[in-house]
Amino acid sequence: MRSKITAYEEIVKSIEDGMQIMIGGFLADGTPELLIDAVIESGAKNLTIIGNDTGVPGRGISRLIDTDQVARVITSHVGLNPRTIEKAIAGTLDLQLVPQGTLAEQIRCAGAGLGGALTPTGLGTKVAEGKRQIEVQGKTYLLEEPLHADLALLKSAMSDEFGNSFYEGTCKNFNIVMAYAADTVIVECDQLLEIGDLNPNTVETSGILVDHLIKGAKCDY
């Protein structure tokens, strides 16, 4: 097994205009702040960001909204980030709101190679506009298509050098499912272990899925 530790500068260089990027976290908990720094430093524009929410002022995805690098956001909640709402109303940000469970299922479907998920959530609302409706056993469902990304930026509590990763508590959130749904997966870790030192029973993202690993600001190794 090879080490996947990658220099911060190399991460910055890999981020390009127009990318579709998934970012883990829930109200900025479990969000890779150093990797968001890398996106900001890259100067990449016209980005599509996929995440549970757009963070809170000064934390998480909110920082990317502030830099005007994001053209489109696919998310389930923006209520704690006034800047996102302001830009959406002004027409400078394409905001696509998705029910939280649906968002998770769309990401999961992309990772599992499925053609989509059927859900009754959103029927009869704006969520259903432009979407296929399918009847199964007398019930009507919306077909929610898979949601894929060029890049997934994740945050682990602990990883080994191969990328096997563990997430602490509720910071598991979207980090786990996003690891399956992107062409390139980058993990920022708080604690770095040598290969073989992470208990296999605690691994929640296999290193097979991880392309690059970067030591976070709190990393003690």
What tens digit of pLDDT does each residue of 126-150 get?
889 999 999 999 999 999 999 999 9
Pick the CATH number of 17-113+141-215 from 1.10.287.370, 3.40.1080.10, 1.10.10.10, 1.20.1260.10: 3.40.1080.10
Query: pLDDT digit string (tens) for 60-112?
Result: 999 999 999 999 999 999 989 999 999 999 999 999 999 999 999 999 999 99
Mean of per-residue pLDDT scores for the chain:
95
The two structure tokens encoding residue 98:
């998705």
CA gap 131, 146 in Å, rounded:
13
Buried b / exposed e along 107-132 (16+ C-beta atoms within 10 A): bbbbbeeeebbbbebbeeeebeeeee
State the pLDDT at residue 108.
98
pLDDT at 2: 84
pLDDT at 220 over 60: no
